[in-house]
Copies of this chain bind each other. A is one copy, B any other.
């Protein structure tokens, strides 16, 4: 039975005095109320209903905990742990209005989706708004995501993408040619964006690149860029960098671009699910909100990649083109081959090392990362009418080989500011070795990603693995195949044991 929970204006609100608490509840908003709270009976919320807090013209929702110690939280107080304290910006002793939260208006829509129904554009607009306002609990977000994974039409994906753009901010770049490049992920080490971006900017096109952190992989573009420069830019800071350099590589999390997507990702991450429809809605909503007009999209296909076969890749390509086209985006989808990881390093610090080597035209730089970046940059450059019809790739190669791209990257890094994190490698090192003579016949993308994540990447930027023998390499028994790096003994133990069981590297005679 689905209950159509009502959302009336409700009774008058009560006021409570804020009390900062030295507690960190991670990303979740939590408040601590006295069992004798003067504003409501918190035990009646029974862990199911949230508390609504109004302060400074905004409304916040938080899960309540009950405190039985008056010296910690008194009856007329509301205890504020991080991150809510930070979000509210409230000082100790100020007053906020509180009330039991009404249920999200869109829960009926979420339940209809769970039951396999098709939702209207209005329903998706309301859901996107409730997501952006943090009105849905994690459980409800998970239910919505999984229901969409089960069944979602192309038009629903379009409606939801449009709604996700609408409920956030949107950057406008004054009609200049704004281009972007994105990869759907799934191939470790595939950090082409960090090579492509400075090539494009060196040519003079505008590329305000925003990236998320890793969702299911050992490093996202933002995680790797953070080894080189600050990435948590505000929208204003991003604009200043782009005005100065023609490009940036910023983390999208501090901007209000498709904020509903940020909430979805926070639930997709622990679930490690990433469906075609959510991928399209997530990527395109972020790109359109960031003001992109031309987008080159890399869809790697391979037996251990996110997309396993050409049929699935073509289906995804069509969905991207359908939604992107209706939303006014000029979109080129490139289906690329992904038989093994790209480059050598997997994990933020190691991937940043590879990117630096390619931009420095180091002769030892990984050739696959260099060539794939040139190819993708070439396609992006063809948004420039002067390079249309296949002249992009030569121009990209020229900008990389001349050092122009490398200098542009230095400029971008200087404009974004110094990295706040350590660029050191983990000091726990383990070499995984060939157990016999042979030729490396495959390197499993999924397995390598799993091992790098077990080692601690991307939370620990210096964790990951360094591939020493890629496909086609002849190795002797005992020769190292890759090196595992970690900082935490528990992570190291997990990763080494898992690599011993299945290294992800196969040898042929």
Instruction: Report A's interface with B, CB cutoff 8 A.
Output: 1-6, 8-11, 22-28, 30, 32, 35, 40-41, 43-44, 46-48, 65-69, 72, 81, 99-100, 102, 107, 111, 114-116, 137-143, 145-147, 149-151, 185-186, 216-217, 267, 269-274, 305-306, 446-447, 449-450, 453-454, 456, 459-460, 488-490, 492-494, 497-498, 501
Given contacts A24-B35, A450-B4, A488-B41, are A111 and B147 in contact (CB under 8 A)? no
Asked if residues A6 and B273 are in contact (CB atoms below 8 Å), the reply is no
Q: Which 3 A-B pairs have the closest CB atoms?
A: A26-B47, A150-B150, A22-B69
**Residue on B nearest A144 in the bound complex, by CB:** B146
Given contacts A11-B489, A115-B149, 20 further A-B contacts (CB under 8 A): A1-B186, A1-B274, A1-B305, A2-B216, A2-B446, A3-B450, A4-B446, A10-B497, A23-B66, A24-B35, A24-B65, A24-B68, A40-B490, A65-B81, A100-B490, A139-B267, A139-B271, A142-B146, A146-B150, A150-B151
CA distance A488 to B41 in the complex (A): 9
Asked if residues B26 and A46 are in contact (CB atoms below 8 Å), the reply is yes
* Residues of chain B within 8 A of A107, CB atoms compared: 272
**Residue on B nearest A40 in the bound complex, by CB:** B490
Ordered by A's residue number, 26 sampled pairs between the chains whose C-beta atoms are within 8 Å are A2-B446, A3-B216, A3-B272, A8-B497, A9-B497, A10-B490, A10-B494, A10-B497, A23-B66, A24-B43, A24-B68, A25-B65, A26-B46, A30-B65, A48-B269, A102-B494, A107-B272, A111-B272, A114-B273, A138-B139, A139-B139, A139-B141, A140-B270, A140-B271, A150-B150, A150-B151
Q: Out of B6, B47, B116, B454, which one reaches A450, CB within 8 Å?
A: B6
A494 to chain B, nearest CB (A): 5
CA distance A102 to B453 in the complex (A): 13
**Residue on B nearest A110 in the bound complex, by CB:** B271
* Residues of chain B within 8 A of A139, CB atoms compared: 138-139, 141-142, 267, 270-271
CA distance A10 to B44 in the complex (A): 41
CA distance A30 to B449 in the complex (A): 30
A425 to chain B, nearest CB (A): 17
Asked if residues A6 and B498 are in contact (CB atoms below 8 Å), the reply is yes
**Residue on B nearest A25 in the bound complex, by CB:** B65
A446 to chain B, nearest CB (A): 6
**Residue on B nearest A307 in the bound complex, by CB:** B1
CA distance A102 to B114 in the complex (A): 30
- Of A9, A35, A66, most B-chain CB atoms within 10 Å: A66
* Residues of chain B within 8 A of A2, CB atoms compared: 216, 272-273, 446
* Residues of chain B within 8 A of A46, CB atoms compared: 26, 459
Asked if residues A23 and B32 are in contact (CB atoms below 8 Å), the reply is yes
Asked if residues B68 and A22 are in contact (CB atoms below 8 Å), the reply is yes
Asked if residues A449 and B48 are in contact (CB atoms below 8 Å), the reply is no
* Residues of chain B within 8 A of A142, CB atoms compared: 138-140, 142-143, 146
Asked if residues A114 and B149 are in contact (CB atoms below 8 Å), the reply is yes
Q: Out of B6, B23, B270, B446, which one reaches A1, CB within 8 Å?
A: B446
